[in-house]
Amino acid sequence: MRSFTDPVMAAKLRRAKPGDLIIATTSEGDAAVAKAAAWIGDGEVAVSGDAYIYRPPGAM
């Protein structure tokens, strides 16, 4: 699934890097809370404030 954020808003958000895990902290449905997704893209991606970013030790 892809979504796009206005560039002005995206500039204010935190960034996940390739290899990071993004973990949902809120959701419209209980089943999605605490679900994780690995970011495997080529560059950074803007992440909502309603998510944790876990960067494995040794990752840049």
Q: Are strands 21-24 and 36-38 parallel, antiparallel or unpaired?
A: antiparallel
What is the pLDDT at residue 26?
79
Q: Is residue 2 part of a domain?
A: no
What are the pLDDT digits (tens) for 14-24? Answer: 999 999 998 88
The boundaries of the domain holding residue 39 are 7-54
Calculate the CA dihedral of residues 7, 13, 18, 22 and round it to 10 degrees.
-130
Average pLDDT over residues 16-44: 84
Of all residues in the chain, what percent carry a pLDDT higher than 70? 95
What is the pLDDT at residue 31?
76
What is the number of structural domains in the chain?
1
2 vs 25, more confident: 25
Q: Can you give the pTM of this predicted structure? A: 0.72
Q: Is residue 30 part of a domain?
A: yes
Q: Is residue 60 part of a domain?
A: no
